[in-house]
Structure 1
């Protein structure tokens, strides 16, 4: 996302408000993070950071997996506050910006981040910070959403009005270019679609609200969405209903592993 598209203060506030409901709605996020854990290279890291740690689910998973010091960092204060309350305790939590990490240079062996960096206006700066804080041979492993995510919802809204209702994400080609220019060695990079199924459109919209993944683009409508527009949206989304009776919502997920040159 470009800096003109996203306001990190609004992102932080939205996810903070959703902290208490996030875990109940995060099945897709858990699957994506689990899939990233499954492709991590064999390693014995001493210092690990979960960047965009949310309520700390993967922070604790990393703590259980490695005999290492593990820290959780997140932009949303509400998420960090909730994570601190969950057992088991890990080494530490902090409110932090991925573009300006409060970490010493060459201090980490693994920087793990799942479905967080798509909310950063400057992914190139995130990559530069990762390169700075990782030791030689260290890994940055992350997932992020790319263009094409929630295309069904975007197309349905386009049939209703001219406002921007669905978050925009970086084209995969732009992501590949940033990775190539990052100075980090690309060990793994693939884009995989995840198709979620719903009985009703309202299930998807409630889930997005519970996650805090609200629309934060310029051009979004102000105030509440009227009943007439919601009825029109529901009708427009029906064109995607599958033979099994479900409504799909597709996410395009980039899975990336980079390494600092030794």
Structure 2
């Protein structure tokens, strides 16, 4: 099995950073799913992490979970890292971590054995080289340290993907690796797998416009390389809306997110 996604499968990191930087001001207003997933990830932290003296919020975004970690571990020193400078500028004045650093999960700007806890919620799906992420986590974790992450896998926004498929056959939805790849890559890493699971989270929207507005406000709209250029014509959008209507449920139009939860530990 190829250990990483082909480079053409995921967006360029600079595009990801720019998109999320632009979304910094609007992100928190539409981040209900991100809150839910992050809180569930916090609940999966092993008891041992309550003794952590140093933690890392990897892909900190607006710093919501940096502040949560600070509240839960008031005696610990926190570092918040994100690839998007705009997110860091938004997060810094709100506190939580002692340090806010621009950095890449595949090449962390941290010393070896420098933290007891890495927390990363809904950020690592943008990393093409997941084995490098795991290697870096093992490097910066102190012995016995824990990495807890949530990510997205294939099946995320499947309703939107299928609707576009009926319209023009192009992939308008961000690509993610398979859950089975997470199982294999984590098992083959030098970290002990404490927990690894997948859970579907379904949001409902009144109409297609509400969904696409939220994706743009999050900075998570289609960033695929090779995506169709130019404006999406009204006729195509009408066709997309009609195709999506076939998925409508009593609560509204569903948008399914396939969320991966992982807890890994470095050997003592």
Report the TM-score range of the alignment, normalised by the length of the smaller protein.
Answer: over 0.9
1:4-57 CA-partner distances (Å, limit 9, x unpaired): 222101000000000010000101000000000011111210110000000100
The correspondence for 1:82, drawn from 72, 90, 93, is 90
* Partner SS state of residue 188, structure 1: strand
Q: How far apart are the structure 2 equivalents of 1:167 and 1:14? A: 13
Matches within 5 A, 1:208-227: 208-227=215-234
CA distance in structure 2 between the partners assigned to 1:113 and 1:2 by the alignment: 23
1:2 aligns to what? 6
1:186-201 matched pairs, under 5 angstroms? 186-201=193-208
TM-score normalised by structure 1 residue count: 0.97
Paired residues, number: 260
Classify the secondary structure of the residue corresponding to 2:156: coil
Correspondences of 1:115-126 after superposition (within 5 Å):
115-126=122-133
Give SS of 2:52's match: coil
Q: Which runs of 5+ in 2 are unaligned?
A: none
2:112 counterpart of 1:105: yes
Question: Counterpart of 2:28?
Answer: 23
What CA deviation, in whole Å up to 9, does each residue of 1:113-153 have, x standing for no partner?
00000011111100000000001100000000000000000
**CA RMSD after TM alignment:** 1.0
Give the secondary structure class of the aligned counterpart of 1:240. coil
5+ long unaligned stretches in structure 1: none
Q: Are 1:252 and 2:258 counterparts?
A: yes
Q: Is the 8 Å Cα contact of residues 163 and 219 (structure 1) preserved in structure 2?
A: no
Q: CA deviation at 1:163?
A: 1.8
Per-residue CA distance 1:204-224 (angstroms, 9 max, x = gap)? 100000000021212311122
SS in 1 for 2:117: strand
Q: Give the Cα–Cα distance (whole angstroms) in 2 for the partners of residues 179 and 140 of structure 1.
A: 11
